[in-house]
Amino acid sequence: MTSILIDVKKTLGIDQAYGAFDLDILMHINTAFATLNQLGIGPDDGFMIEDETPEWDAFLGDDLKLNSVKTYIYLSVRLVFDPPTTSYLIDSLRNQLNELTWRINTYREGSAWVDPDPPAPEEP
């Protein structure tokens, strides 16, 4: 696996050695992780990174069906860190992000669904 921060910087077109925007990118990555946590993805206590040390498997484990999380995080960061200049491209990125959100949520519901309104236990 590779570093989460380095991969996101690469997809944003930023050289891994250039650290001027690391704080901003880290903040946006962690926001995406918080959203994924609210969708039920990742560790129950949440997940965050502070540097380039954490790798994807620290968040994804060995579940290959969650590889779309990488694109989800990139799109989330791109929209707030370096949004496109045209509304057409912004809409395209938002649509991709919405579809990934739906797919990730659907996967989670199929693999780890918890009834939000369980039946009351029967009285003896």
Q: Please give the structure tokens belonging to residue 16.
A: 């891994």
Residues paired with residue 55 on neighbouring β-strands, in sequence order: 3
| Residue 81 CA: distances (Å) to CA of 51, 73, 89 | 17, 12, 14
CA 92 to chain centroid: 18
pTM of the model: 0.86
Rg of the chain on CA atoms, in Å = 17
In tens, the pLDDT along 68-106 reads 999 999 999 999 999 999 999 999 999 999 999 999 999
Using the predicted structure, report yes or no on whether residue 1 has a pLDDT greater than 90. Answer: no
Domain ranges of the chain: 4-112
